[in-house]
Amino acid sequence: MMKLKQLVFWTIGAMLVAISAMPSAKAQTALEIVITEGQDSARPIAIVPFQFRGEGESPYNFAEIVAADLRRSGRFGPVSNNQLPARPGKDADVRDYAAWARLGVEAMLVGEVTPLSGGRYQVTYELIDPLRGQITGGSAQALVDGQLVDSNDHIIEGRTSVVGEGQFRQYAHRISDVVYEALTGERGAFLTRIAYIYVDFDLDNPYHLMVADYDGYNERVLLRSPEPLMSPTWSPDGNKLAYVSFENGRPEIFIQDIYTTGREKLTSFQGINGSPAWSPDGTKMAMVLSKDGAPNIYVMDIASRRLEQITDHWRIDTEPSWTPDGKSLTFTSERGGRAQVYRVDLSSKQIRRVTFEGEANLGGVVTPDGNGLVVVHRANGRFHIARQDFPSGNLMVLTETSLDESPSVAPNGSMIIYSTTYRDKQVLALVSMDGRFRARLPSRDGEVKAPAWSPFL
């Protein structure tokens, strides 16, 4: 399928349409997601296959993508199609809300696809609360400005869009975002991407910088190299990646535009040039440099290349990560003995230790809401992903996989993607912020590591 996707990538218009128009293509991806735990805590939901109001087959199975997205969120358990009591395309076609309520679903998604001219389609969908529909019979009356008017308050969401043939998958993710936000009150992260490093030592250029949709589809190679690539990190606008490349026999930090392929070298100091992290406003890059001896944390103004040293300690300081307000950094330091996470205020340069539990804590990332810290936690010689809450300090180990590292948090804070080892190979894995939902993204061949979840795109 790697082949097919490359084909899709390189082929123009017509071919692209033909392939993406394959009905319900159960296309395997290079990173196929295998859910390993957590379906039992998911909320039941009905995702009804969208009805096609045209000749022949529907050009795309939107419902399948939406159902897969919601299942992978760990929050929802879409019921299987053969359990559905009917196949309505819109609320007006729903005869018996009670039959849906009996399914135990809190919501049902129905939709219609109508062909327009020029390869465009009108996609309409509604998210329905069957329990409310059962009570009101599908039409309630409500007082609005003192007038009694008809109200369809059992319809939680309803939208119509015109979608071109090349945008089906993207639009399906958009629907998932709408459904997710309507039911959880939290923004969906289905229209996001992950960057990661793929390594296959059997190739002449073993090291690859990759970008794919969050679900592993639309994988693209951004850079191939005979020498190691490390630490991809997204610009806050989602257009660029910073990463470390050893292409010149030493580590250097590069910035690459993911759409134009333009790249520039940001740093090439003596010693370590590593662990780049973009500031939330996109103007600065935190990094690790060892040009003056020990690895310390620095912040560079990207436009002027002006460098400010943040930490100055003779032992290892590394893995800077910005707090969402951009006013401080967390970082890993050995200043207290074993590696622990510390926090430095950028204006006062005041440093305080954040983690205390276990033998060591590394790779700290503050969650998007600023209320927690995701770390690589070492206890009894094992490395697991853990979450520590602020300000309680409670630490909860989230994973049971082995040699976990490089956690990266989805922009809505719902999920963590990280690198782990499975059957002697490095693979990516997902775990929800509460640790209940776990999935693995095994790669066909080679090793996959250093995942970085994009911002909202």
Nearer of residues 169 and 382 to other proteins, judged by Cβ: 382
Site for other proteins in 171-230 (CB under 8 A): 201, 228, 230
Helices (H), 96-167: 97-102, 130-136
Site for other proteins in 381-400 (CB under 8 A): 383
One-letter amino acid at 246 equals F
CA distances from 378 to 274, 315, 317, 427, 428 (A): 22, 19, 17, 19, 19
- Nearest-approach distance from CB 11 to other proteins, in angstroms: 34
Binding mask 322-341 for other proteins (x = CB under 8 A): ----------x------x--
- Nearest-approach distance from CB 453 to other proteins, in angstroms: 17
Q: How many residues make contact with other proteins (CB under 8 A)?
A: 34
Residue in 176, 192, 318, 328 binding other proteins, rule: CB under 8 A: 318
- Nearest-approach distance from CB 229 to other proteins, in angstroms: 8
Site for other proteins in 405-424 (CB under 8 A): 405-406, 421, 424
d(CA 116, CA 308): 57
* Binding segment (CB under 8 A) for other proteins, from list 210-218, 302-310, 312-320, 341-349: 312-320
For the chain, helix, strand, coil in percent to 5 are 15, 45, 40
- Nearest-approach distance from CB 285 to other proteins, in angstroms: 15
- 183-188's contacts with Cβ under 8 Å and 24+ in sequence apart are 183/43, 183/45, 183/76, 183/106, 183/107, 183/127, 183/156, 184/75, 186/412, 186/413, 186/414, 187/411, 187/412, 187/456, 188/69, 188/73, 188/412
Q: Which residues pair with 365 in a beta bridge?
A: 374
Residue in 210, 289, 346, 362 binding other proteins, rule: CB under 8 A: 362
319 lies in the binding site for other proteins (CB under 8 A): yes
- Nearest-approach distance from CB 179 to other proteins, in angstroms: 36
Classify the phi-psi angles of 190: left when phi > 0, otherwise alpha if psi is within -120 to 50, otherwise beta. alpha
451 lies in the binding site for other proteins (CB under 8 A): no
Residue in 78, 133, 232, 274 binding other proteins, rule: CB under 8 A: 274
Which tokens belong to 423?
Answer: 């059957």
Binding mask 223-262 for other proteins (x = CB under 8 A): -----x-xx--------------x--xxx-----------
- Nearest-approach distance from CB 422 to other proteins, in angstroms: 10
402 lies in the binding site for other proteins (CB under 8 A): yes
Nearer of residues 194 and 376 to other proteins, judged by Cβ: 376
Pick from 132, 84, 134, 129: which is nearest to 108 by CA? 129
89 lies in the binding site for other proteins (CB under 8 A): no
d(CA 98, CA 102): 6
Residue in 85, 115, 238, 271 binding other proteins, rule: CB under 8 A: 271
187 CB-near residues (< 8 Å, 6+ apart):
177, 180, 181, 411, 412, 456
* Binding segment (CB under 8 A) for other proteins, from list 38-46, 138-146, 186-194, 375-383: 375-383
d(CA 110, CA 32): 27
CA distances from 93 to 44, 89, 428 (A): 22, 7, 43
286 neighbors 328 (Cβ within 8 angstroms): no
Nearer of residues 405 and 434 to other proteins, judged by Cβ: 405
259 CB-near residues (< 8 Å, 6+ apart):
239
d(CA 128, CA 155): 5
449 lies in the binding site for other proteins (CB under 8 A): yes
Apex 408 CA angle, 294 and 232, nearest 5: 60
Helix H or strand E segment including 3: helix 2-10
- Nearest-approach distance from CB 409 to other proteins, in angstroms: 15
Nearer of residues 86 and 403 to other proteins, judged by Cβ: 403
Binding mask 339-358 for other proteins (x = CB under 8 A): x-------------------
Contact footprint for other proteins (CB under 8 A): 201, 228, 230-231, 246, 249-251, 271-272, 274-275, 288, 290, 295, 316, 318-319, 332, 339, 362-363, 376, 378, 383, 402-403, 405-406, 421, 424, 426, 449-450
